[in-house]
Amino acid sequence: MATYLIRRLLIAIPSLLGISVILFTILALAPGDPFSEMATNPNVPPEVREALRASFGLNDPIMVRYVRWLGLMVQGDWGFSFASRINVDDLILQRLPTTLFVVGSSQILALCVALPVGIYAATRPYSVFDQIANTLAFVGFSLPTFFTGLLFILIFSVSLDWFPFVYRSDIAATGWRWYWEMFRQAIMPITVLGLFQAASYTRYVRSAVLDVIRLDYVTTARAKGLGERTVTLRHITRNALIPVVTLVALQMPTVFGGALVTEQIFRVPGIGSLLIDAILANDTPVIMAVTFVFSCLVVLFNLIADLLYGWLDPRISFG
Amino acid sequence: MAGSTLASPSADPAVAAIAAPVSVSPARETWRRFRRHRLAMASLVILTLLIVSVIVGPWLWPVAINDIDFSATLQGPSLAHPLGTDDLGQDIMARMMYGGRISLAVGLAAMVVATFVGVLIGALAGMSRKVADPVLMWVTDLFLSLPQLPLLLLIIYLFREQLKALFGVEGGVFVLIVIVIGGLRWMPVARLVRAQFLSLREKEFVEAARAQGATKMRQMVRHILPNALGPVIVASTIEVSTAIIAESTLSFLGLGFPPDIPTWGRLLFDAKDQLDTAPHWALFPGAAIFLTVLSINFIGDGLRDALDPRRVI
């Protein structure tokens, strides 16, 4: 297990390096210069500007600049936020738990909906239930999260007044009351994101189950006299989950995109809304860092998917 | 179908016998199969209506999109304003028809970019028997693990000013959004094309072409690519809806087209603070995005069934 984990970690490093190269290239190609304001400022003579550029190493070849930038990123020195006046890594660490909580809960919700519905639909293909589930799945992933978010606010906050539509991190309550308020305000963002993902996962689960349901080993399991429940849950589902894990991992970039939108709609103070605020405030260090954190999260979830894969499929050796 | 083996045991021999003497073109056959998918046909009708109304609509409803009227702000649907007005009294129907043109154009153009890049990279990887294939596939996987929306926001934030200077406000953002969405969405197409090429390049008809001295280019373009097109058509149909959602998301976050260009996402962005007093303002553009995306997805599903030769319809 340990060697498998280490090998997977080593495979993740090139992708992280590749992502960092792409990010750095985008930044280096972009017009604009941190010292451009000084060019128009008559109080700063051009020689001083040149000296400043040289002291920050902006005149070095691009390769040297990339290696230096990467070195700083690895050491955790992510720069200083222009807008918030604190270190970027502190800012991100403040916001990250909220994002992980919302994304994680919505993924659990999505799987809790998609697995039963997908499996049930696949065991009765082309039945009325299957057709309704299929149509609803199409509707589900055609409804963009920003529209469902607004619809939820319109229905549950404006009309029914059940849930608050602004997420607050400073709830003035303690004990159970705090948990209750937290639950009440988290329920809409999590549902919006969860149902969107559930729609596409349902289709994955259904087709994965359909692929294995007619295989000979399932017939064998039935012939041994196992109950239908055991066959479906222990024989079919376990095997069908293997491709689903891969597809869920491939969905991760979309999930974080959706999280960004939901955070913005419900004012959830996560890294997604941090990114939007930073863009509106021209806060380049924060923008770069958040984008990089999003990439790292995607790679991390791919890694988790690989580990799950190894657990679900004994044919993959850990050695 | 004459003389071919039946595709699946469920194929009805009687149907095959009737169909056998008539030779039909592949396009016509696909259309026949596509019509069987009722939801896809309904979606085709809805999408056609939507496209026609955004193209022809502005002539039939000649109200300026920036006609400010403070005596009629935030009004619900009425005869004078069929879809109501916004907070400046501007007619939402006129704005939606104008914005729809841009949203749909972005979707189509981004699809063309994504498909072109995807087919190119997939074909190169699929034909290569040397190092190009693993390298290109590594790049594809790398792009697949990029967080697209944050990256999209980053690129637009960094390059917007420069392109504005080059192509003007509207054109600059259009070119940027199309290239970036297309450039971040080619991976599914590339993987599909590569998989098709890997299996097709070993087939006898390609071998025959090779034996007759066809160059690699000719084998690719004339023999393999036409046979690989089915799944590519399906994937690029879905790309249109993905691109429309991506553009609307950007505009919804207030970072896509500038405020004076009312794309559907931008209308939602403007409307979201008035949800309690003027829900119609958000509902109409939202419904337009939803209907467009849903019908494109259903059409893609219908095409998938129609273009799959193993499926008997």
- What 8-state DSSP symbol labels residue B71? G
Given a cut of 60, whether residue B12 has pLDDT beyond it is no
pLDDT for res A226:
86
pLDDT for res B21:
54
Burial A197-236, CB ≥16 within 10 A → b, else e:
bbbbbbbbbbebbbebbeeeebeebeeeeeeeeebbeebb
- What distance in Å separates residue A138's CA from the closest CA in chain B? 7
CB A152 within 8 A of CB A261: no
| Across A101-110, B51-60, B73-82, B156-165, least confident range | B73-82
Reported confidence tier of residue A219, pLDDT bands at 50, 70, 90: confident
pLDDT for res B73:
67
Beta carbons within 8 Å of B23's beta carbon, 6+ residues apart: B2
pLDDT for res B16:
47
Each residue's pLDDT tens digit, A228-270: 888 888 888 888 888 888 888 888 888 888 888 888 888 888 8
Q: Is A299 within 8 Å of B145 when comparing Cβ atoms?
A: yes
* Crossing angle of helices B26-35 and B38-60, rounded to 10°: 100
Which one-letter amino acid corresponds to residue B237? T
Percentage helix, strand, coil for chain B under 3-state DSSP, each rounded to 5: 70, 0, 25
| Across A73-87, A199-213, B30-44, B49-63, least confident range | A73-87
Structure tokens at A290: 């958040």
Structure tokens at B187: 């991976």
B286-291 mean pLDDT: 89
Cβ-Cβ contacts under 8 Å, A15 against chain B: 141-142, 145
Cβ-Cβ contacts under 8 Å, A8 against chain B: none
pLDDT for res B224:
87
3-state secondary structure of B85: strand
CA distance linking residue B37 with residue B305, whole number of Å: 8
CB A96 within 8 A of CB A269: no
Each residue's pLDDT tens digit, A60-85: 777 888 888 788 777 777 777 766 77
- Nearest to B88, CA basis, from B237, B262, B238, B264: B262
Reported confidence tier of residue B11, pLDDT bands at 50, 70, 90: very low
CA distance linking residue B119 with residue B174, whole number of Å: 23
CB B126 within 8 A of CB B201: yes
pTM: 0.83
A173-193 mean pLDDT: 80
Reported confidence tier of residue B76, pLDDT bands at 50, 70, 90: low
Given a cut of 80, whether residue A304 has pLDDT beyond it is yes
pLDDT for res A315:
74
Q: Is B290 within 8 Å of A144 when comparing Cβ atoms?
A: yes
Q: Is B154 within 8 Å of A18 when comparing Cβ atoms?
A: no
Cβ-Cβ contacts under 8 Å, A257 against chain B: 147-150, 249
pLDDT for res B17:
47
Q: What is the dihedral of CA A203, A209, A212, A214, to 10 degrees?
A: -100
CB A286 within 8 A of CB A81: yes
Each residue's pLDDT tens digit, B14-23: 444 444 556 7
CB B186 within 8 A of CB B243: no
Instruction: Give the closest of A151, A253, A279 to B146, CB-based.
Output: A253
Q: How far apart are the first and last CA of chain B?
A: 13
Instruction: Give the closest of B150, B159, B301 to A260, CB-based.
Output: B150
pLDDT for res A34:
55
CA distance linking residue A209 with residue A134, whole number of Å: 14
Cβ-Cβ contacts under 8 Å, B184 against chain A: none
Instruction: Give the closest of B147, B245, B255 to A256, CB-based.
Output: B147
CA distance linking residue A278 with residue A286, whole number of Å: 6
Given a cut of 70, whether residue B53 has pLDDT beyond it is yes
- What distance in Å separates residue B213's CA from the closest CA in chain A? 40
Instruction: Give the closest of B150, B276, B293 to A290, CB-based.
Output: B150
A288-300 mean pLDDT: 85
Q: Check if B39 contacts A (Cβ < 8 Å).
A: yes
CB B40 within 8 A of CB B298: yes
3-state secondary structure of A170: coil
Each residue's pLDDT tens digit, A109-133: 999 999 999 998 888 888 888 889 8
Radius of gyration of chain B from its Cα atoms, rounded to whole angstroms: 23
Given a cut of 80, whether residue B239 has pLDDT beyond it is yes
Q: Is A30 within 8 Å of B159 when comparing Cβ atoms?
A: yes
Given a cut of 70, whether residue B41 has pLDDT beyond it is yes
Which of A279, A288, A300 to mutate to probe the B interface, most B CBs <10 Å? Answer: A279
* Alpha helices (runs of H) in B11-91, residue ranges in sequence order: 13-19, 26-35, 38-60
Instruction: Give the closest of B146, B158, B275 to A30, CB-based.
Output: B158
Cβ-Cβ contacts under 8 Å, A294 against chain B: 147, 150
Above pLDDT 90, what percent of chain B?
6
Given a cut of 60, whether residue B5 has pLDDT beyond it is no
A136-162 mean pLDDT: 84
How many beta-carbon pairs below 8 A join chains A and B? 126
User: Which domains does chain B show, CATH number per domain?
Assistant: 95-313 (1.10.3720.10)
B291-311 mean pLDDT: 84
CA distance linking residue B253 with residue A261, whole number of Å: 7
Beta carbons within 8 Å of A171's beta carbon, 6+ residues apart: A178, A181, A182, A185
Q: Is B153 within 8 Å of A154 when comparing Cβ atoms?
A: no
pLDDT for res A229:
86
Instruction: Give the closest of A144, A250, A264 to B245, CB-based.
Output: A144
- Nearest residue on chain B to A159, judged by CA atoms? B276
Q: Is B154 within 8 Å of A147 when comparing Cβ atoms?
A: no
More confident residue, B143 or B4: B143
CA distance linking residue A162 with residue A157, whole number of Å: 6
Q: Is A150 within 8 Å of B159 when comparing Cβ atoms?
A: no
Report B:258-287 residues touching A (Cβ under 8 A).
265, 268, 271-272, 275-276, 279, 282-283, 286
Beta carbons within 8 Å of B68's beta carbon, 6+ residues apart: B88, B89, B90
Given a cut of 50, whether residue B3 has pLDDT beyond it is no
Above pLDDT 90, what percent of chain A?
3
Cβ-Cβ contacts under 8 Å, B248 against chain A: 144, 146
B223-242 mean pLDDT: 86
Q: Is B282 within 8 Å of A299 when comparing Cβ atoms?
A: no
* Type and span of the H or E element at A20: helix A2-29
- Nearest to B276, CA basis, from B71, B79, B87: B87
Mean pLDDT taken over chain A: 81
B285-313 mean pLDDT: 83
pLDDT for res B14:
47
- What distance in Å separates residue A284's CA from the closest CA in chain B? 9
Q: Is B272 within 8 Å of A154 when comparing Cβ atoms?
A: no
Q: Is A26 within 8 Å of B155 when comparing Cβ atoms?
A: yes
Report B:120-149 residues touching A (Cβ under 8 A).
138-139, 141-142, 144-149
| Across A126-135, A193-202, A250-259, B255-264, least confident range | B255-264
B265-282 mean pLDDT: 79
pLDDT for res A318:
56
CA distance linking residue A119 with residue A209, whole number of Å: 6
- What distance in Å separates residue B62's CA from the closest CA in chain A? 28
A48-52 mean pLDDT: 73
Q: Which residue has the tokens 């849950």?
A: A233
- What distance in Å separates residue A175's CA from the closest CA in chain B? 33
pLDDT for res B117:
92
pLDDT for res B1:
37
Cβ-Cβ contacts under 8 Å, B139 against chain A: 18
